[in-house]
Amino acid sequence: MLLRDAHNRIIRDLRVSLTDRCNFRCFYCLPHGEPPLARKETILTFEEIVEICEIFVSLGIEKIRLTGGEPLLRKDIEVLVEKLARLKAQVSRFEVQSSETENPKSKTQNPKLVDLALTTNGFSLKERAENLKNAGLDRVTISLDSLKRKNFQRITGVDKLQETLEAIEAAKKARLTPIKINAVVVRGYNDDEVLDFVCFAREQNISMRFIEFMPLGAGHDWDRNSVVSGREIFAKINRVFPLQLKEKSRGAETAWKYRFVDGARGEIGIVAPVTEMFCGACSRIRLTADGQIRTCLFSTTEHNLRDVLRSNSTRPEIVEFIKDVVMKKEARHKINDANFMQPVRTMSFIGG
Protein backbone atom coordinates (compact mmCIF):
# COMPACT_ATOMS: atom_id res chain seq x y z
CA MET A 1 0.00 0.00 0.00
CA LEU A 2 2.14 2.87 -1.30
CA LEU A 3 1.20 6.53 -1.48
CA ARG A 4 0.89 7.43 -5.12
CA ASP A 5 -0.38 10.71 -6.52
CA ALA A 6 -2.46 11.41 -9.62
CA HIS A 7 0.75 11.83 -11.65
CA ASN A 8 1.99 8.34 -10.72
CA ARG A 9 4.69 9.65 -8.36
CA ILE A 10 5.34 7.53 -5.27
CA ILE A 11 5.62 9.57 -2.06
CA ARG A 12 8.47 8.35 0.14
CA ASP A 13 9.69 11.51 1.92
CA LEU A 14 7.84 13.30 4.74
CA ARG A 15 8.97 16.69 6.08
CA VAL A 16 7.60 17.36 9.56
CA SER A 17 7.74 20.88 11.01
CA LEU A 18 7.95 20.78 14.81
CA THR A 19 7.51 24.50 15.43
CA ASP A 20 6.85 27.71 13.54
CA ARG A 21 9.24 29.61 15.83
CA CYS A 22 12.79 30.53 14.86
CA ASN A 23 15.56 32.39 16.63
CA PHE A 24 17.20 33.57 13.38
CA ARG A 25 15.87 36.40 11.20
CA CYS A 26 17.14 35.47 7.76
CA PHE A 27 16.23 38.18 5.26
CA TYR A 28 14.85 35.63 2.79
CA CYS A 29 12.50 34.12 5.37
CA LEU A 30 11.66 36.28 8.41
CA PRO A 31 13.13 39.73 7.75
CA HIS A 32 10.48 41.52 9.81
CA GLY A 33 10.29 39.04 12.67
CA GLU A 34 7.76 36.30 13.12
CA PRO A 35 4.15 36.79 11.97
CA PRO A 36 1.49 35.68 14.48
CA LEU A 37 2.45 32.20 15.62
CA ALA A 38 0.14 29.22 15.81
CA ARG A 39 -1.56 28.94 19.19
CA LYS A 40 -0.19 26.32 21.55
CA GLU A 41 -3.35 24.24 21.41
CA THR A 42 -3.14 23.99 17.62
CA ILE A 43 0.43 22.66 17.58
CA LEU A 44 0.66 18.89 17.23
CA THR A 45 1.73 17.02 20.34
CA PHE A 46 4.58 14.52 20.21
CA GLU A 47 2.04 11.71 20.53
CA GLU A 48 0.11 13.04 17.53
CA ILE A 49 3.28 13.45 15.47
CA VAL A 50 4.33 9.88 16.23
CA GLU A 51 0.90 8.53 15.33
CA ILE A 52 0.84 10.45 12.06
CA CYS A 53 4.38 9.41 11.16
CA GLU A 54 3.62 5.77 11.93
CA ILE A 55 0.66 5.92 9.56
CA PHE A 56 2.76 7.56 6.85
CA VAL A 57 5.48 4.93 7.28
CA SER A 58 2.85 2.20 6.97
CA LEU A 59 1.98 3.81 3.61
CA GLY A 60 5.53 3.64 2.32
CA ILE A 61 7.25 6.74 3.69
CA GLU A 62 10.94 5.85 4.06
CA LYS A 63 12.46 9.18 5.05
CA ILE A 64 11.35 11.62 7.73
CA ARG A 65 13.01 14.99 8.11
CA LEU A 66 12.30 17.12 11.18
CA THR A 67 12.20 20.82 10.36
CA GLY A 68 10.85 24.14 11.61
CA GLY A 69 11.09 27.00 12.15
CA GLU A 70 14.03 25.90 14.22
CA PRO A 71 13.22 22.36 15.44
CA LEU A 72 15.69 22.53 18.34
CA LEU A 73 13.44 25.16 19.91
CA ARG A 74 10.88 22.40 20.51
CA LYS A 75 11.27 21.32 24.10
CA ASP A 76 12.45 17.74 24.69
CA ILE A 77 12.93 17.03 20.98
CA GLU A 78 15.16 14.11 21.96
CA VAL A 79 12.08 12.33 23.34
CA LEU A 80 10.33 12.68 19.98
CA VAL A 81 13.40 11.50 18.08
CA GLU A 82 13.59 8.40 20.24
CA LYS A 83 9.93 7.56 19.57
CA LEU A 84 10.26 8.13 15.82
CA ALA A 85 13.49 6.14 15.64
CA ARG A 86 11.56 3.07 16.73
CA LEU A 87 9.80 3.19 13.36
CA LYS A 88 13.08 2.10 11.78
CA ALA A 89 12.64 -1.32 13.34
CA GLN A 90 8.92 -1.45 13.97
CA VAL A 91 6.59 -2.75 11.30
CA SER A 92 3.22 -1.04 11.36
CA ARG A 93 0.51 -3.14 12.99
CA PHE A 94 -2.02 -1.60 10.62
CA GLU A 95 0.07 -2.50 7.59
CA VAL A 96 0.51 -6.07 8.83
CA GLN A 97 -3.25 -6.44 9.21
CA SER A 98 -3.85 -4.94 5.78
CA SER A 99 -1.25 -7.11 4.06
CA GLU A 100 -2.53 -10.27 5.72
CA THR A 101 -6.00 -9.45 4.47
CA GLU A 102 -4.92 -8.53 0.95
CA ASN A 103 -2.06 -10.94 0.41
CA PRO A 104 -0.61 -13.12 3.17
CA LYS A 105 2.72 -13.41 1.35
CA SER A 106 3.24 -9.62 1.28
CA LYS A 107 3.62 -9.21 5.04
CA THR A 108 7.38 -9.74 4.76
CA GLN A 109 7.55 -6.66 2.52
CA ASN A 110 6.04 -4.17 4.95
CA PRO A 111 7.65 -0.74 4.72
CA LYS A 112 9.63 0.81 7.53
CA LEU A 113 11.49 4.03 8.17
CA VAL A 114 15.07 3.95 6.89
CA ASP A 115 16.22 7.54 7.44
CA LEU A 116 15.50 10.04 10.22
CA ALA A 117 17.10 13.46 9.69
CA LEU A 118 16.89 17.00 11.05
CA THR A 119 17.42 20.42 9.48
CA THR A 120 18.68 23.10 11.85
CA ASN A 121 20.41 26.46 12.01
CA GLY A 122 22.71 24.88 14.59
CA PHE A 123 21.09 26.51 17.60
CA SER A 124 22.08 24.48 20.68
CA LEU A 125 23.25 21.57 18.49
CA LYS A 126 26.72 21.63 20.04
CA GLU A 127 25.25 20.69 23.42
CA ARG A 128 22.65 18.24 22.07
CA ALA A 129 24.25 16.43 19.15
CA GLU A 130 25.39 13.42 21.16
CA ASN A 131 22.01 12.96 22.84
CA LEU A 132 20.18 13.29 19.50
CA LYS A 133 22.42 10.62 18.00
CA ASN A 134 21.86 8.33 20.97
CA ALA A 135 18.11 8.88 20.64
CA GLY A 136 18.22 7.57 17.08
CA LEU A 137 18.73 10.57 14.80
CA ASP A 138 20.68 9.55 11.71
CA ARG A 139 21.97 12.82 10.28
CA VAL A 140 21.63 16.58 10.17
CA THR A 141 21.53 19.35 7.62
CA ILE A 142 22.81 22.70 8.89
CA SER A 143 22.09 26.10 7.36
CA LEU A 144 25.18 28.23 6.76
CA ASP A 145 24.75 31.20 4.44
CA SER A 146 28.10 32.90 4.96
CA LEU A 147 31.56 32.15 6.28
CA LYS A 148 32.16 35.81 7.11
CA ARG A 149 30.98 36.99 10.51
CA LYS A 150 29.58 40.36 9.45
CA ASN A 151 27.92 38.95 6.35
CA PHE A 152 26.47 36.06 8.35
CA GLN A 153 24.88 38.60 10.67
CA ARG A 154 23.63 40.66 7.74
CA ILE A 155 21.91 37.60 6.23
CA THR A 156 20.61 35.89 9.37
CA GLY A 157 20.05 38.85 11.66
CA VAL A 158 22.10 37.23 14.43
CA ASP A 159 25.79 37.13 15.33
CA LYS A 160 26.04 33.34 15.56
CA LEU A 161 28.59 32.26 12.94
CA GLN A 162 30.96 30.75 15.49
CA GLU A 163 28.14 28.80 17.12
CA THR A 164 27.10 27.42 13.72
CA LEU A 165 30.65 26.32 12.92
CA GLU A 166 30.84 24.64 16.34
CA ALA A 167 27.54 22.90 15.58
CA ILE A 168 29.09 21.38 12.46
CA GLU A 169 32.03 20.07 14.49
CA ALA A 170 29.68 18.66 17.11
CA ALA A 171 27.64 16.90 14.44
CA LYS A 172 30.79 15.31 13.02
CA LYS A 173 31.91 14.19 16.48
CA ALA A 174 28.47 12.69 17.18
CA ARG A 175 28.50 10.91 13.80
CA LEU A 176 25.32 12.60 12.57
CA THR A 177 26.53 11.92 9.08
CA PRO A 178 26.56 12.47 6.18
CA ILE A 179 26.39 16.14 7.18
CA LYS A 180 24.87 18.48 4.63
CA ILE A 181 25.40 22.23 4.72
CA ASN A 182 22.78 24.42 3.04
CA ALA A 183 23.58 27.85 1.63
CA VAL A 184 20.88 29.89 -0.09
CA VAL A 185 22.81 31.84 -2.72
CA VAL A 186 21.51 35.37 -3.30
CA ARG A 187 23.07 37.86 -5.64
CA GLY A 188 24.63 40.75 -3.81
CA TYR A 189 24.66 38.91 -0.50
CA ASN A 190 26.83 35.79 -0.67
CA ASP A 191 27.36 34.88 -4.32
CA ASP A 192 30.98 36.03 -3.91
CA GLU A 193 31.50 33.27 -1.31
CA VAL A 194 30.70 30.27 -3.50
CA LEU A 195 34.34 29.24 -3.89
CA ASP A 196 34.96 29.83 -0.18
CA PHE A 197 32.17 27.37 0.54
CA VAL A 198 33.69 24.87 -1.87
CA CYS A 199 37.04 25.10 -0.08
CA PHE A 200 35.20 24.63 3.19
CA ALA A 201 33.55 21.45 1.87
CA ARG A 202 36.89 20.05 0.71
CA GLU A 203 38.61 20.85 4.00
CA GLN A 204 35.78 19.54 6.20
CA ASN A 205 34.78 16.56 4.02
CA ILE A 206 31.12 17.54 3.99
CA SER A 207 28.33 17.89 1.44
CA MET A 208 27.94 21.57 0.50
CA ARG A 209 24.56 22.30 -1.06
CA PHE A 210 23.90 25.52 -2.94
CA ILE A 211 20.22 26.44 -3.17
CA GLU A 212 18.59 28.95 -5.49
CA PHE A 213 16.80 31.89 -3.85
CA MET A 214 13.06 31.06 -3.72
CA PRO A 215 9.95 33.21 -3.11
CA LEU A 216 9.15 32.06 0.42
CA GLY A 217 9.93 35.08 2.60
CA ALA A 218 7.62 36.92 4.96
CA GLY A 219 8.46 40.18 3.22
CA HIS A 220 7.13 38.90 -0.10
CA ASP A 221 9.88 40.90 -1.77
CA TRP A 222 11.51 38.14 -3.81
CA ASP A 223 13.32 39.48 -6.85
CA ARG A 224 14.13 37.19 -9.78
CA ASN A 225 17.21 39.28 -10.50
CA SER A 226 18.60 38.16 -7.16
CA VAL A 227 18.46 34.49 -8.18
CA VAL A 228 21.86 32.98 -8.90
CA SER A 229 21.02 30.06 -11.16
CA GLY A 230 22.27 26.55 -10.57
CA ARG A 231 24.09 26.67 -13.91
CA GLU A 232 25.90 29.85 -12.90
CA ILE A 233 26.90 28.30 -9.57
CA PHE A 234 28.15 25.16 -11.32
CA ALA A 235 30.15 27.15 -13.87
CA LYS A 236 31.78 29.27 -11.17
CA ILE A 237 32.87 26.17 -9.25
CA ASN A 238 33.82 24.06 -12.25
CA ARG A 239 36.25 26.68 -13.59
CA VAL A 240 38.38 26.38 -10.45
CA PHE A 241 37.50 22.95 -9.09
CA PRO A 242 36.39 20.67 -11.96
CA LEU A 243 33.32 18.63 -11.03
CA GLN A 244 31.99 15.25 -12.10
CA LEU A 245 28.33 14.29 -11.77
CA LYS A 246 27.97 11.50 -9.23
CA GLU A 247 24.81 10.03 -10.71
CA LYS A 248 23.39 9.86 -14.20
CA SER A 249 20.07 11.10 -12.89
CA ARG A 250 19.01 13.03 -9.81
CA GLY A 251 15.96 10.80 -9.47
CA ALA A 252 13.67 11.98 -6.68
CA GLU A 253 16.45 13.91 -4.93
CA THR A 254 16.46 17.70 -4.92
CA ALA A 255 20.17 18.16 -5.65
CA TRP A 256 22.45 17.36 -8.54
CA LYS A 257 25.44 15.87 -6.71
CA TYR A 258 29.06 16.20 -7.82
CA ARG A 259 32.46 14.87 -6.80
CA PHE A 260 35.75 16.64 -7.34
CA VAL A 261 37.70 15.43 -10.36
CA ASP A 262 40.97 15.81 -8.45
CA GLY A 263 39.77 13.27 -5.89
CA ALA A 264 39.45 15.73 -3.01
CA ARG A 265 37.10 14.97 -0.16
CA GLY A 266 33.66 16.49 0.12
CA GLU A 267 30.69 16.78 -2.18
CA ILE A 268 28.89 19.57 -4.00
CA GLY A 269 25.09 19.63 -4.38
CA ILE A 270 23.17 22.14 -6.47
CA VAL A 271 19.44 22.63 -5.85
CA ALA A 272 17.83 24.68 -8.61
CA PRO A 273 14.04 24.70 -8.14
CA VAL A 274 13.57 28.03 -9.92
CA THR A 275 15.57 27.55 -13.11
CA GLU A 276 15.58 23.74 -13.38
CA MET A 277 12.45 22.52 -11.62
CA PHE A 278 12.44 18.87 -10.57
CA CYS A 279 8.73 18.50 -9.89
CA GLY A 280 8.30 15.55 -12.23
CA ALA A 281 10.13 13.26 -9.83
CA CYS A 282 9.00 14.84 -6.55
CA SER A 283 8.50 12.28 -3.77
CA ARG A 284 7.89 14.75 -0.92
CA ILE A 285 4.98 15.82 1.21
CA ARG A 286 4.95 18.19 4.18
CA LEU A 287 3.27 18.41 7.57
CA THR A 288 3.20 21.80 9.30
CA ALA A 289 3.61 22.24 13.05
CA ASP A 290 -0.12 22.84 13.38
CA GLY A 291 -1.04 19.68 11.50
CA GLN A 292 -1.70 20.87 7.96
CA ILE A 293 -0.62 18.70 5.05
CA ARG A 294 1.05 20.61 2.24
CA THR A 295 1.45 18.75 -1.03
CA CYS A 296 4.02 21.19 -2.40
CA LEU A 297 6.39 23.74 -0.92
CA PHE A 298 4.56 26.38 -2.95
CA SER A 299 1.01 25.17 -2.34
CA THR A 300 -1.61 27.82 -1.68
CA THR A 301 -3.93 25.18 -0.19
CA GLU A 302 -3.48 23.24 3.05
CA HIS A 303 -5.32 20.12 4.25
CA ASN A 304 -6.24 19.91 7.93
CA LEU A 305 -5.04 16.54 9.17
CA ARG A 306 -4.95 17.76 12.78
CA ASP A 307 -8.71 18.13 13.03
CA VAL A 308 -9.25 14.77 11.37
CA LEU A 309 -6.94 13.19 13.92
CA ARG A 310 -8.62 14.94 16.85
CA SER A 311 -12.16 14.11 15.75
CA ASN A 312 -11.87 10.47 16.85
CA SER A 313 -11.53 9.29 13.26
CA THR A 314 -10.67 5.64 12.84
CA ARG A 315 -7.30 4.57 11.51
CA PRO A 316 -8.73 3.64 8.08
CA GLU A 317 -10.48 7.02 7.88
CA ILE A 318 -7.20 8.84 8.56
CA VAL A 319 -5.48 6.73 5.92
CA GLU A 320 -8.16 7.55 3.37
CA PHE A 321 -7.87 11.26 4.16
CA ILE A 322 -4.11 11.14 3.57
CA LYS A 323 -4.45 9.16 0.36
CA ASP A 324 -7.09 11.58 -0.92
CA VAL A 325 -4.85 14.57 -0.17
CA VAL A 326 -1.85 12.97 -1.89
CA MET A 327 -3.97 12.50 -5.02
CA LYS A 328 -4.33 16.31 -5.08
CA LYS A 329 -0.58 16.89 -5.21
CA GLU A 330 0.23 19.48 -7.86
CA ALA A 331 1.96 18.41 -11.05
CA ARG A 332 4.48 21.22 -10.63
CA HIS A 333 5.08 24.56 -8.94
CA LYS A 334 4.26 27.77 -10.78
CA ILE A 335 7.15 30.05 -9.84
CA ASN A 336 7.82 30.80 -13.48
CA ASP A 337 4.18 31.40 -14.42
CA ALA A 338 2.79 34.89 -14.83
CA ASN A 339 -0.02 34.11 -12.36
CA PHE A 340 2.27 32.71 -9.62
CA MET A 341 1.08 33.47 -6.09
CA GLN A 342 3.51 33.14 -3.19
CA PRO A 343 2.27 31.00 -0.28
CA VAL A 344 0.85 33.10 2.54
CA ARG A 345 2.95 31.25 5.10
CA THR A 346 6.75 31.50 4.98
CA MET A 347 9.28 28.68 4.99
CA SER A 348 9.47 28.91 8.79
CA PHE A 349 5.81 27.87 8.95
CA ILE A 350 5.85 25.39 6.07
CA GLY A 351 8.89 23.36 7.03
CA GLY A 352 11.82 22.91 4.66
Q: E strand or H helix at 267, and its extent?
A: strand 267-271
Cα separation, 259 vs 272, whole angstroms: 18
pTM for the model:
0.89
7 assigned to some structural domain: no
218 assigned to some structural domain: yes
Q: Quote the number of domains for the chain.
A: 1
| CA dihedral of residues 118, 124, 128, 133 (deg, nearest 10) | 20
216 assigned to some structural domain: yes
5 assigned to some structural domain: no
Q: Which residues pair with 17 in a beta bridge?
A: 67
Sign of CA dihedral 267, 147, 193, 118: positive
Contact 52, 44 (CB under 8 A): yes
With both helix axes pointing from N to C terminus, report the angle between 161-173 and 149-156 in degrees, rounded to the nearest 10.
Answer: 100
78 assigned to some structural domain: yes
Buried b (16+ CB within 10 A) or exposed e, 112-135: bbeebbbbbbbbbbbebbeebbeb
* CATH number of the domain encompassing residue 287: 3.20.20.70
6 assigned to some structural domain: no
**Rg for the chain (alpha carbons), in Å?**
20
202 assigned to some structural domain: yes
34 assigned to some structural domain: yes
| Structural domain boundaries enclosing 263 | 13-350
Which one, of 283, 284, 257, lies nearest residue 271 by Cα? 257
pLDDT in tens for each of the 352 residues of the chain? 789 989 999 999 999 999 989 999 888 887 666 665 677 889 999 999 999 999 999 999 999 999 988 999 999 999 999 999 999 986 544 444 444 444 444 443 566 899 999 999 998 999 999 999 999 999 999 999 999 999 999 999 999 999 999 999 999 999 999 999 999 999 999 999 999 999 999 999 999 999 999 876 544 566 888 999 999 999 999 999 999 999 765 666 778 999 999 999 999 999 998 888 777 688 899 999 999 999 887 787 899 999 999 999 999 999 999 999 999 988 776 676 667 666 666 666 666 6
